[in-house]
Amino acid sequence: MKFARRLTGAAACALSAVLAAVLCLSSAGPAQAEQTGLRAADPSVLRVGSTYISVQSAGGGIAVRQAASTAALASAPARQVWSDTRNLGEVWAPEIVRDAGRYHIYFSAGRGSAHRMYEISSANPDSGYTAETELALPDDKWAIDGTLFTFNGQRWFVWSGWAGDTNVEQNLYIARMSSPTTPTGARYIISQPRESWERVVGNPFINEAPEAIKDPNGQLHIVYSANGSWSDQYCLADLRLRADGDPTYVWDWYKSNGCLFGSHRTTMMSGWDPTLYVDGPGHHSFVLLDGDIGTSPPAGPTFPLMFHAVAKGTPYSWENRYWYTGSFCWWGNTTYSRADVPGPHTDTGWSLKFFEATGRGTGAVPDGRGGPGR
């Protein structure tokens, strides 16, 4: 790599992106989708040491599993860590986060327009959780799919919610946190489902399940699910915060020009291909060490991903969703464009490639499974 050291500026960045793409291609695994035995939705998984920890809504409450691999989570015993003794209502999409060595599980509970975000915490992943605390999110509106992360030394909370008291559309919001349970200041909108490819299925139109990750340049990304989860048009898309951008300023966020992981070619971003084996992949979990975006992977090899989807050839329904073990890698020199809004109309940087399988082999990624298709 001595020749790379002689390159500076844009040339070095371009070379880095090419090398990362080559590594991503060569490390990708078999094309067959890796369905787990867990018939469920909304996976949330992190790794602590050599142990993988997942959380899911089950039995009118929340259950935690621990295993030596993502694939083994489905056969691991589920331990109930919280029950809805207050009869809050439907319990949706718990997210497990580790902050300062303590486990926090965020979840939405309620009925109809009453859904709000709650938190429980413990020093251990599968026992000893506190009673639920409702998060006092700014404006006190319907809220689901919330998660905590730290970026540039500041805690943030990002979630899917309504602007008002009726479900016109689900937007993504962000707010600062002074502690894992204390929002501070206003909520700020960072995405609305206004692009044609995220309005294929609606009434309401959907942006939900946001997950934070940091790219090799240190820029923040929020990868989210678009289109209704009741449809095989469900897919993953990306928001990339411009370099040195303000997370609370909507026009500092640049949106991918299509789905990055989905099952319909008509909604995919140019250069990204639809899945071969599953329909409607979405509501994913980046399987990061300690769940910390500070441990986000470098450019090059693939890294673990979990998502829910329905096997192709199976009727698409909530009841037919399974957890899948997939993978992802960074894809450099990718331009997101926009029009008729403040600020520059294009932004070039890292994007992501998603794969239906884990990277356990060699050879180029076949067309059609979220890979390059080039």
Token couple for 224? 């989210």
| Per-residue pLDDT tens over the stretch 149-177 | 999 999 999 999 999 999 999 999 999 99
Side by side, the strands of the sheet bearing 346-355 are 278-286, 303-311, 322-337, 346-355
The pLDDT of residue 16 is 52
Q: What was the pLDDT predicted at 9?
A: 42
The amino acid at 151 = F
Which residues, other chains included, contact 246 with Cβ-Cβ below 8 Å and sequence gap of 6+? 252
Residue 204: cis peptide before it, omega within 30 degrees of 0: yes
Residue with tokens 């040339």: 11
User: For residues 134 and 233, what is the distance between their CA atoms, to the nearest angstrom?
Assistant: 32
Nearest-angstrom CA–CA distance, 50 and 52: 7
301: its two tokens: 């090899």
State pLDDT tens for residues 292-335: 999 999 999 899 999 999 999 999 999 999 999 999 999 999 99
Residue ranges of alpha helices (H) inside 258-346 are none
- Structure tokens, 66: 């621990």
Could you tell me the CA-to-CA distances from 189 to 96, 157, 174 in Å, in that order?
Answer: 23, 12, 6
- Name the nearest CA neighbour of 158 among 130, 117, 101: 117
Which amino acid is it at 62? I
**Nearest by Cα to 230 from 13, 21, 14, 41:** 41
Tokens encoding 204? 């309401």
Torsion angle of C-alpha atoms 18, 329, 265, 43, degrees rounded to 10:
-170
Percent of residues, the chain, with pLDDT higher than 90? 85
How high is the pLDDT of residue 25?
59
Q: Are 105 and 96 spatial neighbours (Cβ–Cβ below 8 Å)?
A: yes
pLDDT at 24: 73
Looking at residue 20, its pLDDT comes to: 57
Positions of the chain with pLDDT under 70: 1-23, 25-31, 359-374
Q: How far apart (Å, rounded) are the C-alpha atoms in residues 172 and 192?
A: 7
Q: What are phi and psi of 127, to 5 degrees?
A: -165, 165
Cα–Cα distance measured from residue 150 to residue 266, given in angstroms and rounded to the nearest whole number: 35
SS3 state at 71: helix
Which ranges of 32-154 does DSSP label H, i.e. alpha helix? none
- Which pLDDT does position 151 carry in this prediction? 98
